[in-house]
Amino acid sequence: MKLSPDFTFPLIVLMTCVELFTFVTARPTYLPQGKKGLQILYQDMRTLLNVVSHERLRNEKDFEQSLTSLPTLNYKAQDLKSLEMSSTLEHLYSGLKSFKFHLDWIQQKQEEMGNDYSKTKKLADRIQIISHMVLIQIGTTPPELVYPSLSPLNTAWNLYQANAEIIDKLYFFCNWYIRALGVLKNGQH
């Protein structure tokens, strides 16, 4: 079944809502806050980095990257000395939600093209779980995120390139936030 591009965004939103409902009703509502919660979040981000690292090794990166809608990291190592808990967690949350949005887009295109999307779905599900954990650590609901419209992926090569770029940027994103969470959890008393 081929869908018109006009249905892409609503379908992604619907898929996200269904996954969120399944996630919320299937997990216990209690997750620790504070140092213990940060430790669990840190470990889950390390696990995510491992998964992303394996995927990243399999990807060819010899092409121009063009997804400007992905989160950008403009941090230096010295920025780790001046982290604030709330803003760090809010940026982590919004970045994870953005990657989840992009992976849902890739998954939908993989499904439309008849490709195996199980790895993409598992990665998106893992990000959804971590996002929920970050939300618990934040303690309040952050502002609603605005999702960009994404260009069509008309060929298998375009799909491959977009997926490889998302994985590549997710790798660096995870790496930075593992460091940040390590600083935050060690700074908690």
pTM score of the predicted model: 0.78
CB 41 within 8 A of CB 136: no
Q: What is the distance between the alpha carbons of residues 181 and 89, in angstroms, rounded to a whole number?
A: 9
pLDDT of residue 27: 45
Give the total residue count for the chain.
Answer: 189
Q: What is the distance between the alpha carbons of residues 27 and 124, in angstroms, rounded to a whole number?
A: 16
**pLDDT digits 0-9 by tens, 70-88:** 888 777 777 788 788 888 9
Q: What is the distance between the alpha carbons of residues 34 and 30, in angstroms, rounded to a whole number?
A: 13
**pLDDT digits 0-9 by tens, 96-149:** 999 999 999 999 999 999 999 999 999 999 999 999 999 988 888 777 888 888
- What is the residue-wise DSSP string for 166-182? HHHHHHHHHHHHHHHHH
**pLDDT digits 0-9 by tens, 12-63:** 655 565 555 554 444 444 456 677 889 999 999 999 999 999 998 887 767 6
Q: What is the distance between the alpha carbons of residues 146 and 16, in angstroms, rounded to a whole number?
A: 14
